[in-house]
Structure 1
Amino acid sequence: MYIKNKGSIAGPMFKIPFMGPFIQALYPDFEEYKKQWASGKLSCISVFHKFVVLTPDRDLTHKVFNSPAFVKPCLVPVAEDIIGPNGWVFLHGKAHVDYRKGLNTLFTRKALECYLPTQEAVLSDYFGRFVQASRDNGGNPLPFMGLFREINCAVSCRTFVGHYISDEAVKKIADDYYCITAALELVNIPLSLYVPYTKVWKGKRAADGVLAEFAKCAAKSKIHMAAGGKPTCIIDRWILSMIESKRYRDNEAAGIENGEKPSILLREFTDFEIGQTMFTFLFASQDASSSATTYLFQIMAQRPDVLDRVRQENLEARNGDVNAPAGLQMLESMVYTNAVVKELLRYRPPVIFVPYEAKKPFPVTPTYTVPKGAMIIPSCYPALHDTEVYNQPEMFDPERWISGDASEKSRNWLVFGAGPHNCIAQQYVQITMTAMIGKAALELDWVHHPTARSEEIKVFATLFPMDDCPLVFTKRA
């Protein structure tokens, strides 16, 4: 059974699956509910013990994102059990602001430049695996969604925790992450966390394994950085900031001339806290990046004109040397490749909605107040496919970001959310995707073998083609 807000959602998006007689549509004032439903602004449902308000309207979505006094992120009801209730994504108010300030330094331009060599090595490794997988399959099309999930997990793990983690552990995390995603559904049977072999039970154990692995990496990084090591990954840079902050405080307490004060004075975080934060980064990136990668390769194969322009731009940026490493300035300079990535994020947004919970009664419209404890879910997809803002929004058109006016429609650009909890790694995502598709265009050829379900969409945390994207990769001469 599906409830869809008729007339407010383009195409087949924003479907919420329900389960038989346990689900019923509820609203405190049914007549007012019918008015809101007809207006395309609100939809309300009751799922087991949770009352859920859906807000597909762009301005209401902004209102939710920018109302931290009334709402807090909750993702899904079981998320705190999976990630841990003390995860920084669940903080709000001053605690969240202070925590986030310390993390902002991990995504500066200097930091992003530092991560690129490691990311490029991962891409080279996996591009070789793509070609070999196609060979091993006799040159026949192979569904690549799984390998796209794996390459993104490897890029994330190497960027977050570097080579403190083994290849085997990265592969296990990539495999196990399916369990975590499957557990984080909007609707789960109550107490399923404690029932062996349910999705939530499996997801919790997989998440605990990732947390333990990342905590070990934090301990290794602390030893390396204390010995004067050079930072090459996110935890290195974070721990180096902690060391510099401690040194400044110790010198100040001892009355020693201290030099320049660090921009952010950090406290010392435990190995578990560091591991938990890296896990939240992986949680934010894994499904979203895998979705974007899958659609990017599918669409580029379908649009050879777009692929040819990306290939030419990347070749020119490297002065004809396909083996030249990508620097941050080079990646930022490629106007068309960046437009392709931005259009992909608009056309098939990796984040379609972001659940919040009302901390207190929230007057979301002049005529309706969301009750305390209810989930309120702002949707990002409708704003990105608004026919009044984007010309032919169901068409993939990178030119809208170059010669068109899409860049001016910032209020509709909800790919990364908005407000105090917007995505901290927006520039990182753009740069990483630009580097991936640019390098692939130079080193690989690939052919998409469409099926009857290639243009159908399945929702697995985010959006994927129903047939898992059958491709054949070959190495370019």
Structure 2
Amino acid sequence: MVFSVSIRASLAPYIVSALLLFLLLEQLSYLIKKRNLPGPLFVPPIIGNAVSLVRDPTSFWNKQSTIAKNSGLSANYLIGKFILYIRETELSQQIFSNVRPDAFHLVGHPFGKKLFGDHNLIYMFGEDHKSVRRHLAPNFTPKSFSTYSVLQQLVILRHLRQWDNSFSNESRPVSLRNLVRELNLETSQTVFVGPYLDKEARNRFRSDYNLFNLGSMALPIDLPGFAFGEARRAVKRLAETLAVCAGKSKTRMASGEEPTCLIDFWMQAIVAETPPPPHSGDDEIGGFLFDFLFAAQDASTSSLLWAVTLLESEPEVLSRVREEVARIWSPESLITVDQLAEMKYTRSVAREVIRFRPPATMVPHVAAKDFPLTESYTIPKGTIVFPSVFDSSFQGFTEPDRFDPDRFNETRKEDQVFKRNFLAFGWGPHQCVGQRYALNHLVLFVAMFSTLFDFKRFRSDGCDEIVYSPTITPKDGCAVFLSRRVAVYPNFSA
């Protein structure tokens, strides 16, 4: 025992020296990669500034944006990874336009590959990626959108009716954040895999998705009991559930039945091919469906909350929405696809909500090799790069700090004039395939909510400040007083 203690004592100086050398090399590596970019001069060892990011992501990213104001770039260090924040639109465009094996890999989350699993559309390139996107085309046709619109409205109306019964004319405000999350989760489940989830599966689905949400905002510690590890396992279960749905849909579509949800339109095209196309196995489809869920769920929750927040703060905009919707639609029936297309001002409002408060403020990528971004700076291989969609949304546009839906009307057409700055749905080969679906969902919600409810914000200190959860939402969760605007509440069933 004495001999063992003696050995440990003699080794201690070497261990300490090795640790100090490691920390020194870590700092030097960071400074070499950072070069003359703005950012912290020294970073905490190993974990970097991850604690600051997890504790207050809004403050962390605002600071990165502020210090990048002059150069368009800023640097930092997170859990062994050098990161680069890109504020300038033209520089962000270079990242989005160069997603390929030898340039940038889209990851969707700083530790997304580990969190999301292997079968994931955002990690695919080249012909494989093109093939999957080509086979997604049947999901986004006029016929499929008509089917989705009915399902979306039925879910929206069911939840709005519950809000009316529970909260209308209450003396206390209600925070819409959790209510909207539940509405969106049921909408996604119903539209994507509607008839293939029973009540028990839907409850498990909800529980697992909540675990995923919590873990996506936590330190990436993949151990039992830690939020990130629980989230990774929840994603695996969600993908397995969706894979079962894909199998059931294939069987049903092979028997010649009509599609009733998104997975049916997709599987109908797949079962018609002999041999089956690449990447059409149930497990792969389950992973791709989780991509859709992730893209639709939290982004829509963010947009719906900001829509209510911004409409309440802009009475003239709200009045114009109500006038347009009343001219086109009566709550005695569902909104038809043709009526939805007529709601041009309401659609402009939806687009402006997404520009003014883009749900996913950044889209993380990883540099697969050294990439010359500017004449004076080359992004080192392995860097996690964060092009800022949020910053781009406030560049180029006329009076960008003003909420102004008319910028998207047929006269000004700022969605075309400043198209390169409107990055909320991405750019290039990985641009969001479901953007029309997302916009339709937002327009339907705005039309119905503003028609059926009067609403007034409960103003508290900092209520409109941005928080990450994981997409951006108002700090107060959009707390409002609700009261019914219509004499008879619409009641439809599937």
TM tier relative to shorter chain: 0.7 to 0.9
* CA offsets 1:70-109 (integer angstroms, 9 cap, x no match): 0011223432222212312111222212221111331223
The aligned counterpart of 1:140 is 172
> In the alignment, is residue 398 of structure 1 matched against residue 421 of structure 2?
no
The aligned counterpart of 2:195 is 163
User: Aligned match of 2:152 in 119, 122, 136?
Assistant: 119
> In the alignment, is residue 368 of structure 1 matched against residue 368 of structure 2?
no
Matched letter for residue 118 of structure 1: L
> In the alignment, is residue 45 of structure 1 matched against residue 76 of structure 2?
yes
The aligned counterpart of 2:328 is 317
Query: Aligned partners of 1:431, 1:304: CA distance in 2, in Å?
Result: 23
The aligned counterpart of 1:197 is 225
Q: Is contact 2:239–2:290 with CA below 8 Å preserved after alignment?
A: yes
Q: Is contact 1:24–1:46 with CA below 8 Å preserved after alignment?
A: no
* CA offsets 1:25-61 (integer angstroms, 9 cap, x no match): 9332666325995633211112121111111110010
Query: Aligned partners of 1:471, 1:168: CA distance in 2, in Å?
Result: 32
User: Aligned match of 2:245 in 208, 213, 217?
Assistant: 217
User: Aligned match of 2:32 in 28, 35, 55?
Assistant: 28
* CA offsets 1:8-34 (integer angstroms, 9 cap, x no match): xxxxxxxxxxxxxxx979332666325
Identical columns (%): 28
- Tell me the matched-pair count: 430
Q: Report the alpha carbon displacement of residue 225 of structure 1 after superposing the two structures with TM.
A: 1.7
The aligned counterpart of 1:417 is 426
- Structure 1 pair 30/378, CA: closer, same or farther in 2 (3 Å)? closer
The aligned counterpart of 1:356 is 365
Residues 439-458 of structure 1 aligned to structure 2 (within 5 Å):
439-458=448-467
Q: Report the alpha carbon displacement of residue 171 of structure 1 after superposing the two structures with TM.
A: 4.5
Residue 61 of structure 1 aligns to a residue in which SS?
helix
Residue 481 of structure 2 aligns to a residue in which SS?
strand
- Structure 1 pair 24/114, CA: closer, same or farther in 2 (3 Å)? farther
> In the alignment, is residue 467 of structure 1 matched against residue 471 of structure 2?
no
Moved more, 49-58 or 37-46: 37-46
Residue 416 of structure 1 aligns to a residue in which SS?
coil
> In the alignment, is residue 343 of structure 1 matched against residue 375 of structure 2?
no
> In the alignment, is residue 72 of structure 1 matched against residue 105 of structure 2?
yes
- Structure 1 pair 346/44, CA: closer, same or farther in 2 (3 Å)? same
Q: Report the alpha carbon displacement of residue 393 of structure 1 after superposing the two structures with TM.
A: 2.0
Residue 37 of structure 2 aligns to a residue in which SS?
helix
Q: Report the alpha carbon displacement of residue 292 of structure 1 after superposing the two structures with TM.
A: 0.4
Matched letter for residue 157 of structure 1: Q
The aligned counterpart of 1:94 is 127
Residue 86 of structure 1 aligns to a residue in which SS?
coil
Moved more, 160-169 or 429-438: 160-169
- Structure 1 pair 305/294, CA: closer, same or farther in 2 (3 Å)? same
Q: Report the alpha carbon displacement of residue 172 of structure 1 after superposing the two structures with TM.
A: 4.2
User: Aligned match of 1:305 in 303, 312, 316?
Assistant: 316
Matched letter for residue 229 of structure 1: E
Moved more, 457-466 or 298-307: 298-307
Matched letter for residue 359 of structure 1: A
Residue 44 of structure 1 aligns to a residue in which SS?
strand
> In the alignment, is residue 429 of structure 1 matched against residue 438 of structure 2?
yes
The aligned counterpart of 1:57 is 88
Residue 27 of structure 1 aligns to a residue in which SS?
helix
Query: Aligned partners of 1:30, 1:368: CA distance in 2, in Å?
Result: 9
Q: Report the alpha carbon displacement of residue 175 of structure 1 after superposing the two structures with TM.
A: 4.4
Query: Aligned partners of 1:268, 1:228: CA distance in 2, in Å?
Result: 22
Q: Is contact 1:241–1:266 with CA below 8 Å preserved after alignment?
A: no
Residue 273 of structure 2 aligns to a residue in which SS?
helix
The aligned counterpart of 1:83 is 116
Matched letter for residue 78 of structure 1: F
Q: Is contact 2:239–2:287 with CA below 8 Å preserved after alignment?
A: yes
Q: Is contact 2:362–2:389 with CA below 8 Å preserved after alignment?
A: yes
Unaligned runs of 5+ in 2: 1-25, 40-66, 488-494
- Structure 1 pair 76/27, CA: closer, same or farther in 2 (3 Å)? farther
> In the alignment, is residue 208 of structure 1 matched against residue 212 of structure 2?
no
Q: Report the alpha carbon displacement of residue 345 of structure 1 after superposing the two structures with TM.
A: 0.4
* CA offsets 1:321-347 (integer angstroms, 9 cap, x no match): 322322222212211100110110011
Matched letter for residue 471 of structure 2: T
> In the alignment, is residue 178 of structure 1 matched against residue 210 of structure 2?
yes
Q: Is contact 2:85–2:387 with CA below 8 Å preserved after alignment?
A: yes
Residues 146-157 of structure 1 aligned to structure 2 (within 5 Å):
146-157=178-189
Residue 436 of structure 2 aligns to a residue in which SS?
helix
Query: Aligned partners of 1:322, 1:281: CA distance in 2, in Å?
Result: 30
Residue 322 of structure 1 aligns to a residue in which SS?
coil
Query: Aligned partners of 1:27, 1:442: CA distance in 2, in Å?
Result: 56
Query: Aligned partners of 1:171, 1:454: CA distance in 2, in Å?
Result: 31
Give the structure-1-normalised TM-score: 0.84
Query: Aligned partners of 1:76, 1:412: CA distance in 2, in Å?
Result: 22
Q: Is contact 1:72–1:358 with CA below 8 Å preserved after alignment?
A: yes
- Structure 1 pair 289/363, CA: closer, same or farther in 2 (3 Å)? same
Query: Aligned partners of 2:96, 2:463: CA distance in 1, in Å?
Result: 33
Q: Report the alpha carbon displacement of residue 206 of structure 1 after superposing the two structures with TM.
A: 2.0
Query: Aligned partners of 2:163, 2:96: CA distance in 1, in Å?
Result: 39
Give the structure-2-normalised TM-score: 0.81
Query: Aligned partners of 2:400, 2:289: CA distance in 1, in Å?
Result: 35
Query: Aligned partners of 2:391, 2:478: CA distance in 1, in Å?
Result: 24
Query: Aligned partners of 1:218, 1:365: CA distance in 2, in Å?
Result: 45
The aligned counterpart of 1:228 is 256
Residue 350 of structure 1 aligns to a residue in which SS?
coil
Q: Is contact 1:245–1:267 with CA below 8 Å preserved after alignment?
A: no
Q: Report the alpha carbon displacement of residue 151 of structure 1 after superposing the two structures with TM.
A: 0.7
Query: Aligned partners of 1:275, 1:134: CA distance in 2, in Å?
Result: 37
Q: Is contact 1:354–1:379 with CA below 8 Å preserved after alignment?
A: yes
Q: Is contact 2:212–2:230 with CA below 8 Å preserved after alignment?
A: yes
Q: Report the alpha carbon displacement of residue 405 of structure 1 after superposing the two structures with TM.
A: 4.6
Q: Is contact 2:33–2:82 with CA below 8 Å preserved after alignment?
A: no
